[in-house]
Structure 1
Amino acid sequence: MINEASQPVILAVDRNRRNLELLTQVLTQQGYQVLTKISLEEVEETLNTPTTIKLALVDISGFDASVWSLCQRLREQGIPFLVISPRQQAAVQQASIANGALGLLGKPLIMREFLQLIQNLLKGSE
């Protein structure tokens, strides 16, 4: 049995509960602990409590421009994060990088590649 304390914690932010459920299922099967949040307020509360978040996944769908202040807050706290978006637009990519994202992932996610990326990013942050 995996010790939960040793599992890397991933913060998943998405307005769509079903997407969060699927993401959580995939990540927990890989041995990660997932904190799911559907609102920027919930994320803010999480960031104000002591938690060792190793990586954040921020799906910007359904959020307004205030999602970028969340991204800046993650960067300020030293939490690496990826932005997930339904569109691979240059403006979204530029905003993601400008606000500290490690990269932009387009939907639909290709799970094998996605999980490999997560594993590589977490390995690099150890």
Structure 2
Amino acid sequence: MTGLMEATARSPEAAATVFSNDDASEYLLAGRPLDSLPPELGGGGGRAASENIGNAFLAATTGMNPYDPAALPVEHEDVHRRNLGRGLAIMAEAGDDLQPELREPMAKVFLNHGE
């Protein structure tokens, strides 16, 4: 899942498609069990997976590749706004249980969307 989410994040169109699916969004942002993942996947087991899920969500909501430092902002399309709304609802439900690795990508999403 870690590699798949990194590859997805590098293709904002693919990320937008993945996060357009309600079940996939729910699973990736709140339902994926990370406690049992092996340590070689990053600090705390699932940390690397969570970071890449966050980056894929960033790509899905902004249309930008988070791994490209030269990426320029793009005009938001309906799919970006829908993915943002759906993701916010899922993460709000998680409350204090939101994975810490999702917080930095979410801050970037908020900056990108402005208001």
Q: What TM-score do the two structures reach when normalised by structure 2?
A: 0.34
Between Structure 1 and Structure 2, the one with more helix by share is 2
Q: What TM-score do the two structures reach when normalised by structure 1?
A: 0.32
Between Structure 1 and Structure 2, the one with more strand by share is 1
**Higher RCO (CA 8 Å, separation ≥ 6 residues):** 2
